[in-house]
Amino acid sequence: MVTGLVVSNLENLLPAFQSTPLEVQFRKAVREARIKAATSNHPVYLRFDDVAEEFQVVDRAPASEEDMDAPVITNPEVTVEFFPVPAEAEGGLGRTSDVDWDEPLPQLQFHPSGVSQPAQVRFRWRTGEESVLSLDPFSSGPLASKELFE
């Protein structure tokens, strides 16, 4: 009986590990992107649509910045940004000069081999709450860590 109470209240006991519906959508979109890349045998891209507040899996990268333009939303409910994560210095490529590590990416790329870009995804709500999920490039999930900021 005690086990049943603990399990049923686990989400209340561990608030740092609770997922918002948007984070759940992100996990589903990552799975969809990986599967689509593998079955189509070409890279696919994951974007966040600010207007619809949803993730989109698309078959091609934008040809230009104009393809990425969307209506400007003042005071959106949530903003989602993808940030690149550099490879480890030991045994990896380290930081390269052609990447601005503090500049958000317009999208994430998923390869047919199952590999994705190493990235962190920042969710920022209008209330000021923020959470960051780390995307494992080799498995594209489960998301390696979640950090909450107040």
Determine contact, residues 135/119, Cβ cutoff 8 Å. Answer: yes
Residue 11 scores a pLDDT above 50: yes
Of 71-80, 84-93, 105-114, the one with minimum mean pLDDT is 84-93
Q: How does residue 110 score in pLDDT terms, banded at 50, 70 and 90?
A: very high
Segment among 5-9, 38-42, 87-91, 97-101 with least mean pLDDT:
87-91
pLDDT > 90? residue 65: no
- Tell me how far apart the alpha carbons of residues 62 and 105 are, in angstroms, rounded to a whole number: 12
**List of residues 6+ apart from 21 with CB closer than 8 A:** none
For residue 123, pLDDT over 60 is answered with yes
